[in-house]
Structure 1
Amino acid sequence: MKEITNLYGKTLPQIQEICGELKLPAFTAKQICSWLYEKNAGSFEEMTNISKANRSLLAETYSIDKEKPEKVSISQDGTKKYLFDLGQNRFIEAAMIPDGERKTLCLSSQAGCKMGCTFCMTAKQGFQSQLTPSEILSQFTEIEEAGQITNIVYMGMGEPMDNIDSVLTSLEILTADYGFAMSPKRITVSTIGVIPAMKRFLEESKCHLAISIHSPFPEERQRLMPVEKKYPIEEIVEILKQHDFGGQRRVSFEYIMFAGVNDDDRHSAALSRLLKGLDTRVNLIGFHPIPDSALNGSSRPVMEAFQAHLQKKGITTTIRRSRGQDIDAACGLLSTKERLNN
């Protein structure tokens, strides 16, 4: 019995190689990509400009499989959280955040996460698996707002740079003319700073980059984010200072504020020193309490004072508005732990 391979999530060069192996006409690859990504075909039978014989040949070895959400939760603020069952006890969540004409999709790159950040619910469930390009793209194409999404952030479950091959493949398909033709300026990929993969991302993609920092002091950051021991924030910042972003591409820093931990003048001064000379912005994020954590979020006045200090130092600083907290869709709350082993 032949092994069936999913064609969805393949790039044009990959599909060209497949067409060559099957001795299909060279132009067939672009036809297939058009059906998969532009027309969102769900079967080979829909590909009517490809001969019936060649469609049958493709179907002998390949399939078109997309993940469908099994549940949607809707927040009072309009945010939607989609739950996907990927099989084999793997679940992921994606969040759609509306803001006027703007619809931002926060998608996941892994089922669970292995990075162990102390403030994150995804980390508490551990790591289940890497997502394939098709599993990443399904979060974009199979939700109710498919075709309406204006912006994408890889800030859901998992560490994107720990699944760099699938992430880069999905980004290529999202931005390529043969794929969904989104502007890279509308896509941001977040990382806690996995340096080798981050370097690949900087060279192989034109999408924006966001760095989760949360403290400018290495020892303190390591207590919050164990990755600091292997990939120090000072080294990460230095790499970014040496990289030419070309004016069209943005690097930003995500800073969750914890009361009495990282929110005083000492921290804002150290952060401004660390980022000096880098054209960047800082997004301040309120902490959403999670079970079994002694951390608490900073008050709004404290966040505003922190923001003012950074802005005085010439660093563009925003306070991100929390969305979807009532359905556990806000920053740091995505988790499918309760679905595991049920």
Structure 2
Amino acid sequence: MSEKKRLLGMTLNELKAVAAEAGLPGFAAKQMADWLYKKRVSSIDEMTNISLAKRNWLSDSYEIGKVPPVDFQKSVDGTIKYLYPAGPGNFVESVYIPTSDRATLCVSSQVGCKMNCLFCMTGKQGFTKNLSANEILNQIQALPENDELTNLVFMGMGEPLDNTDELFKVLEILTAPYGYAWSPKRITVSTIGAKGLKRFLDESDCHLAVSLHSPYPAERLSLMSVEKAFPMHGVLDLIRQYDFTHQRRVSFEYIVFKGLNDSVQHAKALAGLLKDIPCRVNLIRFHAIPNVPLQTSDLSKMEAFRDILNDRGVTCTIRASRGEDIFAACGMLSTAKKEKENK
């Protein structure tokens, strides 16, 4: 018996094709979208403005495709890491981060990652597959705290701009009137500077976050092999061609490693590198991962680093560290689950 196709994650145009296949009028696609993305139903039977006969026909070949998390870990600070199935033997994580004024979800886009950054647990898994639009959106739709969400960050497992086709389907559904109808200002896509960056800048109004981690190309290459294929200076030159002074915002992520990239010299070089780009720099404490010698920088060093950038006109903040007691660094929970399943 062939596997049923999943409606969750389909765009309006894709739903129109389903409606045509079922012999339904064109407006039925909008009805299905309402049930999927506004009412968030779990079964085709709940689509009561579609005839019973057509619902039965749809159910023979299709399902909603909303799958609950299979595991979770909750931190003392309220952060919750959820684990979702992503095909046989595969799992991905999303991290729910509530604060006093917002609730943010970090969403995964791949099982594993091709980029193999030195400091990233997901990269140690190697690359298995791109997530489908269904598997990406399911992390949002099946989230127990879905009604509380105010912001989304594509900063979980994987490189979002290495999976652009499926990412763009999800961004369309999240922002289109037929879907979630979210403002793009509630969504940030994080990247290390992959091949899909220009497409994202041309086609999306969502915010952009770029991982830098060093102002020096050779040192960045030692941390991130992507520097060879997509050099930092080329990424920054591309960003300079776009307007980040109004609706859309660009920020730069900078994980601070003890004795490696936390010096006064690094801070001054980073300020010089970014001085002509309207942006924010987020300093991030390193979450230690197994078999990696990198260490977390001292808070006093991070504060001095922040102050140098602010004094030189580059807005800089230290991001509050969340979920350390549950190993909130991406890839930890999914790696443990996969190893357990393979025993």
**TM-score of the pair, normalised by structure 1:** 0.96
Provide, for residues 28-48 of structure 1, a one-character-per-residue CA deviation record: whole Å limited to 9, x for no partner.
000000001111112221111
- Residue 316 of structure 1 deviates from its aligned partner by 0.6
Q: CA offsets per residue over residues 32-72 of structure 1, 9 Å max, x none? A: 00001111112221111111222223223222112210112
Unpaired segments of 5 or more residues in structure 1? Answer: none
Q: 1:288 — aligned with what?
A: 287
Q: Name the SS of the counterpart of 1:242 in structure 2.
A: coil
Greater shift, 137-146 or 213-222, is seen at 137-146
Partner of 2:157: 157
Query: More deviation in 128-137 or 224-233?
Result: 128-137
Q: Deviations over 1:71-121 (max 9, x none)?
A: 121101111111112231101111111101411111111111111100111
Q: Distance in 2 between matches of 1:219 and 1:228?
A: 8
**Structural mapping, 1:58-207, within 5 Å:** 58-194=58-194, 196-207=195-206
Which has the larger displacement, 216-225 or 332-341? 332-341
> SS of the residue aligned with 1:67?
coil
Partner of residue 336 from structure 2, selected from 329, 338, 342: 338
Task: Extract structure 1 runs of 4+ deviating beyond 6 A.
Answer: none
Q: Is the 8 A contact 1:111 1:157 kept in 2?
A: yes
Q: 1:288 to 1:279 in 2, by over 3 A?
A: same
**Separation in 2 of the partners of 1:303 and 1:333?**
25
Asked if 1:312 is matched to 2:296, the reply is: no
Q: Deviations over 1:102-151 (max 9, x none)?
A: 11111111111111100111111222221111111111121220111111
TM-score, with structure 2 as normaliser: 0.95
Write the letter of the residue equivalent to 1:193: G
Identical positions, percent: 51
2:272 counterpart SS class: helix
CA separation of 1:208 and 1:240: change in aligned 2, threshold 3 A: same
CA deviation string 1:235-263 (max 9, x = no partner): 00000001123611000000000111111
1:125–1:335 Cα contact (<8 Å) kept: no
In structure 1, what is the equivalent of residue 262 of structure 2?
263
Q: CA deviation at 1:11?
A: 0.4
- Partner amino acid, structure 2, of 1:39: K
Question: What does residue 52 of structure 1 align with?
Answer: 52
Aligned to 2:212: 213
How far apart in 1 are the matches of 2:75 and 2:293? Answer: 26
Q: What SS does the corresponding residue of 2:146 show, helix, strand or coil? A: coil
Unaligned ranges ≥5, structure 2:
none
CA shift at 1:333, angstroms?
5.8
- Aligned partners of 1:158 and 1:208: how far apart in 2? 18
In 2, Cα distance between equivalents of 1:255 and 1:333: 19
| Corresponding residue SS for 1:235 | helix
Matched ranges for 1:230-249 at <5 A: 230-245=229-244, 247-249=246-248
- Deviation track 1:293-324 (CA, whole Å, cap 9, x = no partner) reads 11111111110111111111111100001000
CA distance in 1, matches of 2:120, 2:86: 22
What SS class does the counterpart of residue 148 from structure 2 fall into? coil
| Cα deviation 1:190-243 (Å, max 9, x = unaligned) | 00000x301111122111000000001111000000000000000000000011
Deviates more, 1:224-233 or 1:97-106: 97-106
SS of 1:293's equivalent in the other structure is coil
- Alpha-carbon distance in 2 for matches of 1:261, 1:229: 20
**Is the Cα contact below 8 Å between 2:245 and 2:278 reproduced in 1?**
no
| 1:87 aligned counterpart, secondary structure | coil
Q: CA separation in 2, counterparts of 1:101 and 1:305?
A: 27
Task: Letter of the 1:48 partner, please give it.
Answer: T
* CA distance, structure 1, for counterparts of residue 42 and residue 331 of structure 2: 32
Q: Distance in 1 between matches of 2:142 and 2:79?
A: 16
Query: What root-mean-square deviation, in Å, do the aligned CA atoms of Structure 1 and Structure 2 show?
Result: 1.4
Cα pair distance change 1:2/1:91, threshold 3 Å = closer
